Amino acid sequence: MEDTIMTSVWFSAMLRFVILVERGGGDDLARSVVLFRADDFPAAKARAIEIGLGMEQTYQSNTDEQVRWRLLGVETVDMLGEEITDGREVYAEPIPLATGISIPFDATFDPAAKEPGQSGV
């Protein structure tokens, strides 16, 4: 019987956090997508939890209330492969348009016209 050598591959995981404010509790959630290497899906789940717990934080807000970010769980784990290539998509989600808004099929767009924001990571 041959020994199989496990080689780690790239994974992404979407983590979900609750943001707790001292006087009001948890009104907001946050998602974070992280990249890491693991040998298989069970190891990837464990690594995602480890990363998420390491991202938990507590701080004082500008209104002097204590704020806590706590990991609620791991929403997704995806195997990306042995290499991450330039331009590799790691997250996508459909976003419905606001009620009453529609975009004509033949509409044209100028993506370069608007400066991108930053997500804060």
pLDDT tens-digit map of 75-86: 999 999 999 999
What is the predicted pLDDT for the residue at 23?
85
pLDDT (mean) for 5-15? 88
Residue 6 contacts residue 43 (beta carbons within 8 Å) = no
Query: CA nearest 12: which of 114, 69, 92?
Result: 92
DSSP 8-state code for residue 112: G
Taking 3-state DSSP, the helix, strand and coil percentages for the chain, each rounded to the nearest 5, stand at 15, 40, 45
Q: Give the model confidence (pLDDT) of 20-67 as tens digits.
A: 999 888 889 999 999 999 999 999 999 999 999 999 999 999 999 999
Residue 39 contacts residue 10 (beta carbons within 8 Å) = no
Give residues with Cβ within 8 angstroms of 69, minimum separation 6: 17, 18, 19, 20, 30, 55, 56, 57, 58
Query: CA nearest 33: which of 50, 21, 15?
Result: 15
